[in-house]
Structure 1
Amino acid sequence: MTTTSETWAPPTEFAEDLKERYGLECPPRWGTPRHPDRPSLGPKLWKVMAKLGAPPMPWQKYVSDVALEIDPATGLFAHREVGLSVSRQQGKTELCLGAQVHRALAWPRQNIVYAAQTRGMARQRWEDEFWEKIAASELARMARIRKSNGNEAILWGRTRSKMGITANTEKAGHGPPLDLGFIDEAFAHEDDRLEQAFSPAMLTRMMAQLWWASAGGTTKSVWLNKKREIGRKLIEALWAALAEDPAAVRPRAAYFEWFAPEDMPRDDPATWYATLPALGHTVTEDVIRAELEKMDPAEFDRAYLNRTRKPTPPTDPNVPKGKWPGLLDAKSRPVADSVAFAIDVSQDRSSASIAAASKRADGKVHLEVVARRPGTDWVVPAMVKLRALWKPVAVAIASSGAPAGSLIDDLIAAGIDVPADKDHPQRGDLAVMRSGDITEACGQLADAFNQGTVRHTDQVPLTAAVNGARTRRNGDAWQLDRTSSLVDISPLCAVTFARWALLIRGPQVEEDYDIGDSFA
């Protein structure tokens, strides 16, 4: 979806400030910080939300306080645009309604327009949720509803402001000048037609704001994905600028996104507490757990972890990934005197993996990614330490035709050498794999999946590599293919090579040492 790093995180003082100001313990991964020298109308919006029966949660206080900052130099809103990317069922609707009602009551003759996936969906939310909440509140006496098709509006008598709806078309927003435009469920919009329609109508309104909000979408959510990418870059650049100069000029757009990177397990409550700001307020762990149990995992990720849902490609028949879940053994551990290591590097060299394979007492082969980090400069020192600690039967690496092949000379220079006598290798010697060895190793691992002779602990990078792996033909056989695979498959390549080295080199070396029974 985006070119910005999903592992980026704001400085720790950001979370500390949010907790101190608002009691917010679930900060966004990307969020505009509160400007300490600007007044804000946020507290007035909080009062409106309370009158509507939904007192703001800490995250809603934070977003609205920043969104409604006033520039002291101009007396106008500091932000012309407010972007909000947050998971479902977190209170987005209540904040959306509060922002509209506050605007309708704060200034005279405000024109407020709300849009959702379609005009029908906008009307349903406007009538069944917005109006029902207004009608049930103490603000009911101040408003009336007009339901005639094409002319729907909630009218506020004292200020003569109106809250209407519009369709998702190029003509949306055409007509009177627009003071507040709200694009909800942005994931459903495949282009920028609404933004292009709203923006010209706001040009003459000095206090105008465009708000948009959505949970994660799909690869077809072109407009949302573009706005998220721009928002992330905006926040990362803002924090970089503030680090250089606390008085740096801030952008006119505010952005807030709660998001769980792919390496955060979907079934871990810690992931939920880092991603769902309403958890512990209006949402419980049991509710999220129930959603996880009944939903497709990819849809759960989109709806509750705010990840972009990608289309599921057809399964590569050579990689029996359907067997992988049944090979899980969370308690599996390596056996000290039966370990082989392997190294692999991603095609773009942005990361590398060291994996281990170990034959257990029950005859199953334990597979584990020992280390996976950015770059390659760490690999040789780490491998030297692991070799000294474990005295493995071998250290496998693909030959010079593969990305990791460039490390062979450095490994030899560090004392991890090829066998002096290829028929009598020693523990810890390099096992440099040629193309035929790699083909053999790939076929052997596929057989092991189907026969149930390997075990793993469901490490996220390894499971992702299994699910995203693609293959290419090599004669009448096949090899794992880094180019066509959907993700970095170096963790899978590494365990594949480690298992091969364990089974090929293991019988050739002497079992003459005794060390501890777990990785340090």
Structure 2
Amino acid sequence: MTTTTASETWRPPPEFAAQLRELYGLDCPPLWGTPRRPEWPSLGPQACKVMRALGFEPMPWQRYVLDVGLEIDPATGLFAHREVGLSVPRQQGKTQQILALMTHRIAAWQRQNVVYAAQTRGMARQRWEDEFLVTLEGSDLARRIRARKSNGNEAILWTRTRSKLGITANTEKAGHGPALDLGVIDEAFAHEDDRLEQAFSPAMLTRPMAQLWWASAGGTEKSVWLNKKRAAGREVIEALWAGGPRPSVAYFEWFAPDDLPRDDPATWAATLPALGHTVTEAVIRSELEKLDPGEFDRAYLNRTRKAAPPSDPNVPKAAWPGLADERSRPGAELALAVEVSQDRTTSTIAMAGLRPDGRVHLEVIDRRAGTDWVVPAVVRLRQLHDPVAVAISAAGSPSSSLIDDLVAAGVRAPEGDEKEHPLPGHLVVMRTGDMVEASGQMADAMTQGTVRHIDQAPLTAAVNGAMTRPVGDAWVLDRRKSLADVSPLVAAVQARWALLTRGPLVRDDYDVLDSIY
């Protein structure tokens, strides 16, 4: 069966990628990115000239970000964006771009105050001295600057404009003092609160061309400020493409959704904009081999690294990876199941199919937002695949609201004598006792290796985040306590149980008919 699971991640319209390819030759567009307004002037090309003078040839993605980030509103003559956010994987050229941005600012305007911040003041000082200053002193721009290295008073001074590039600490007092023209918060993943932004913002109020730039690869669950900024940036871009107003915030994020495999070069090509320029596949593969998966995902796929979930002894999560088989396919006999997430934002249709070797193939075959699509999809799948049964949870579960609609659409429960001799496609309404039985059987099947799956992200995430609650001396999956949306696993549990309990009854019924005719 062909999997039809849609990615849960929003995608920009195709014209966005077409624009970036046409304007910049960029074949790796961000998943969330502010589009360029070609009719608006930009100081991006001047920043790119500075970058070349520093010894770096701007890559397509850097030219795009600088062009958009430094757009000028023709009506006001001011920068169109007061804030620019950049979330990009490691080793993509972020540091060189930031240096070009800051150098352009101190070179182009009189008496500018530019402040750079990193994880700590010590880290900012190290990058300022070992990378920024060393690069400037080794470039064609060396004769235009002088450096002040005294501790606490560090600055790179552009002699003609009397503008300076300094550093600051990650404290509430950072940015206090002179007005601030450009504030750069680098390595934003290390900032656990917004104290630095709150310190910078008041110092920018009186500066009409002031900008705040922040940049980072993915962080962890403790990266509160970065995660908040990423969520806000995504909302801004999605609203923009939905026809909303053009915001004063520009945002760019390269990111690999969880359904893209980390070891696939196609995933890297869609996520790493420097691939083929300053980074090779061989280097990324080497990083994959030496880093643990969570750290590789954070650094090179820009995913947020999450803490390992607490273990639930009832769910044999450790067995799940060994049950993956990308070539697994179901046989002709299969069952479907429907489940809705606890918050009703997402619905899942899962399938369990009997393989020729006797194992049970598990698969999420459709998963989308909302619930309005579920009944038509079940009707269509029922017509296409003639399942032995369609399972759904009884009253009290999120999916039980769909029972009446399924019945009205012809997916009804067996009645009378049909209970002993059910027809294919009958609705199976699973009650608490059924779920207890089905949950325990699934745990045994995982331990004994009698199920197989194709390592789909929603199902694997549900297994890893699954928690249980007691029912008497047994247990069932707990939708509320689980650390992920467990509905894909609940649906798989139901589909497997329906396949193994209803399949024999349907087969026996056909055997009786065969003997008569």
3-state SS of 2:172 partner = coil
- The alpha carbon displacement at 1:130 in A equals 0.9
In structure 2, C-alpha distance between the alignment counterparts of 1:7 and 1:85, rounded to whole Å: 16
- Give the structure 2 partner of residue 260 of structure 1: 256
CA deviation after TM superposition for structure 1 residue 499, in Å:
1.3
Alignment partners' CA distance in 2, 1:376 and 1:238: 26
Q: Secondary structure at the match of 2:497?
A: helix
Structure 1 match to 2:439:
442
Q: Distance in 2 between matches of 1:506 and 1:75?
A: 72
The equivalent position to 2:389 in structure 1, one of 388, 394, 417, is 394
SS in 2 for 1:94: helix
**1:325 paired residue number:** 321
Distance 1:90 1:258 in 2: 11
Matched, 1:469 2:471: no
Q: 98, 101, 104: which is aligned to 2:103?
A: 101
Q: CA deviation at 1:214?
A: 1.1
Q: Which amino acid aligns with 2:38?
A: P
Mind listing any 5+ residue stretches in structure 2 that lack a counterpart? 1-6, 512-517
Query: Is residue 429 from structure 1 mapped to residue 429 from structure 2 by the alignment?
Result: no
Candidates 43, 46, 52, aligned match of 1:41: 43
Q: Which range is displaced more, 23-32 or 479-488?
A: 23-32
Q: Deviations over 1:261-292 (max 9, x none)?
A: 33333333332222221122111222222222
Please state how far the C-alpha of 1:38 moved relative to its aligned partner: 2.1
Identity across the alignment (%): 73
Could you say which residue in structure 2 is the equivalent of 1:518? Answer: none
TM-score normalised by L of structure 1: 0.91
Q: Distance in 1 between matches of 2:209 and 2:302?
A: 30
| Structure 2 residue 363 is matched with structure 1 residue 368 | yes
CA drift at 1:512: 8.5
Residues 339-358 of structure 1: matches in 2 within 5 Å? 339-358=334-353
Structure 1 partner of 2:196: 194
Contact 2:435 2:476 (C-alpha < 8 Å) held by counterparts: yes
Distance across 1 between alignment mates of 2:80 and 2:376: 51
Letter in 2 for 1:328: A
Q: Does 1:457 align with 2:454?
A: yes
**Is 2:424–2:506's contact at 8 Å kept on the other side of the alignment?**
yes
> How far did 1:259 drift?
2.1
**Distance verdict in 2 for CA 1:177–1:38, change over 3 Å:** same
Q: CA deviation at 1:123?
A: 0.8
Preserved CA contact (<8 Å) 2:8 2:368: no
- Partner residue in 1 for 2:89: 87
Following superposition, the deviation at residue 56 of structure 1 comes to 0.7
Match of 1:504 in 2: 501
* Structure 2 residue corresponding to 1:77, chosen from 55, 76, 79: 79
Structure 1 position 6, deviation (Å): 6.8
Task: Tell me which residue corresponds to 2:267.
Answer: 271
1:513 to partner: Cα distance: 8.1
- Partners in 2 of 1:111 and 1:371 — Cα distance? 54
Change (3 A) 1:425 1:74: closer
CA distance in 2, matches of 1:359, 1:66: 54
1:217 match:
219
How far off is 1:19 after superposition?
A: 1.4
Whether the 8 Å contact between 2:85 and 2:252 is mirrored in structure 1 is yes
8 Å contact kept, 2:362–2:452:
yes
Q: Which amino acid aligns with 1:365?
A: V
User: Within 1, Cα distance between the matches of 2:422 and 2:300?
Assistant: 52
The 5 Å alignment of 1:162-201 reads 162-201=164-203
Cα distance in 2, alignment partners of residues 428 and 37 from structure 1: 58
Alignment gaps of 5+ in structure 1: 243-247, 515-520
Alignment-mate amino acid for residue 456 of structure 1: H
Instruction: Give the distance between the partners of 1:363 and 1:16, measured in 2 at CA.
Output: 48
Distance 1:501 1:253, change over 3 A: closer
Counterpart AA for 2:385: W
* 1:304 corresponds to 2:306: no
Separation in structure 1 between the aligned mates of residue 105 and residue 264 of structure 2, nearest angstrom: 39
Residues 428 and 275 of structure 1, relative CA distance in 2, 3 Å threshold? same
TM-score, length basis structure 2:
0.92
What is the number of equivalent residue pairs in this alignment? 503
Partner residue in 1 for 2:20: 18
The aligned counterpart of 1:123 is 125
Match of 1:482 in 2: 479
> CA RMSD, aligned part only?
2.1
- Given that residues 295 and 305 in structure 2 are in contact (C-alpha distance below 8 angstroms), is that contact kept between their aligned partners in structure 1? yes
Change (3 A) 1:334 1:131: same
Q: Which whole-Å deviations, capped at 9, do the CAs of 1:56-83 have from their partners, x for residues lacking one?
A: 1111101111121222333332222222
What code does the residue aligned with 1:299 have? E
- 3-state secondary structure, aligned to 1:368: strand
Aligned to 1:510, what secondary structure does the other structure show?
helix
Determine the C-alpha separation between the residues in 2 that align with 1:401 and 1:75.
Answer: 60
Deviation per residue, 1:151-184 (Å, 9 max, x gap): 2122222222221111111221222222221111
Q: How far apart in 2 are the matches of 1:491 and 1:239?
A: 30
Distance 2:354 2:53 in 1: 65
**Cα distance change of structure 1 residues 378 and 6 upon mapping to structure 2, 3 Å threshold:** closer
What amino acid sits opposite 1:501 in the alignment? Answer: A
For residues 334 and 508 of structure 2, the distance between their equivalents in structure 1, rounded to whole angstroms, comes to 11
Amino acid at match of 1:153: A
Q: 1:204 to 1:355 in 2, by over 3 A?
A: closer
